[in-house]
Amino acid sequence: MKTTVVIPTYNEAANLPRLVQELLGLGIEGLHILVVDDNSPDGTGEVAEALARDHPGRIGVIHRQGKQGLATAYFAGWARALEEGADYIIEMDADFSHSPSYIPQFLDKIQEYDVVVGSRFVKGGSVDPGWGLGRKLLSRLGNLYARLITGLKVKDTTAGFKCFRREVLAALDFSLIKSRGYIFQTEVAYACQRLGFRVTEVPISFRQRAAGESKMSFKIFYEALWRPWRIRLHPPLKRRG
């Protein structure tokens, strides 16, 4: 079975080599890594290419023309992973906020489910102890807001650490998913729920990035306020194929 880990990057040169080392060190047979880089000015794309040369056949790189948004980076990575025959597709951040150590658990759970979500907000999940009370409340309230509007059952609506069976991503029509920031995770979760896929959450500990700067912006925050209403009124439910 082939598992592809899709990792979008923008200025992650300091994190990528260690992340690749930890992923390959898991010893999972058939594990491949696909880096989707948005022409990072810090040379992340070149670092990815060097890692691909060091590990032939295990690492692929997609170079995009510029910073085009998280959602489209994942769409490009998912499409390539499907083309290359991945059975399971994992999405995760490059900054070590998601620990690779959870991946074996994801692959165990995906035998029973269609989507496995690494969740901060189920029992046993947590966020970084360094988060202040305001940030914790904002994150919790943001998730509650999205769930109330959309009717999502998952507790962590913007979770960016997931494992999909290939059938799930093959069924989604990416062209109908219009969100571009982190809220696109909510839109994908909504489509998966409405299309009847079996979804489960496993607790994870979400940590501060190891190096580099956060990609959060006012534009992303603003999109997270209005986009759930659009998702509810115009759900991305057309199945491909």
Query: pLDDT band for position 67 (50/70/90)?
Result: confident
Q: Show me where the domains of the chain are located.
A: 3-233
Query: pLDDT band for position 204 (50/70/90)?
Result: very high
How many Cα neighbours within 13 Å face the side chain of 60?
A: 16
Query: pLDDT band for position 48 (50/70/90)?
Result: very high
Cα(211)–Cα(204) distance, integer angstroms: 20
- Using alpha carbons, list the distances in angstroms from residue 83 to 4, 77, 87, 148, 166: 11, 10, 11, 36, 10
DSSP letter (8 states) at residue 95 = S
Cα(17)–Cα(46) distance, integer angstroms: 11
Give the lowest-confidence range in 29-33, 160-164, 227-231, 236-240.
Answer: 236-240
The yes-or-no verdict on residue 85 having pLDDT over 90 is: yes
Please tell me the predicted confidence (pLDDT) of residue 79: 97
Q: What are phi and psi of 132, to 5 degrees?
A: -75, 170
Cα(94)–Cα(8) distance, integer angstroms: 7
The yes-or-no verdict on residue 149 having pLDDT over 90 is: no
The yes-or-no verdict on residue 134 having pLDDT over 90 is: no
Cα(135)–Cα(130) distance, integer angstroms: 10
Selected residue with higher pLDDT from 67 and 2:
2
CATH superfamily, domain at 3-233? Spore Coat Polysaccharide Biosynthesis Protein SpsA; Chain A (3.90.550.10)
Cα(32)–Cα(22) distance, integer angstroms: 12
Cα(187)–Cα(222) distance, integer angstroms: 15
Mean pLDDT of the region 102-129: 95
Cα(47)–Cα(13) distance, integer angstroms: 6
Please tell me the predicted confidence (pLDDT) of residue 229: 62
Mean pLDDT of the region 74-102: 97
Give the number of other Cβ atoms within 10 Å of residue 147's Cβ.
Answer: 19
Please tell me the predicted confidence (pLDDT) of residue 213: 57
Joined tokens for residue 192: 């998966």
- Apex 220 CA angle, 240 and 201, nearest 5: 55
Are 57 and 4 in contact by the 8 Å Cβ rule? The answer is no
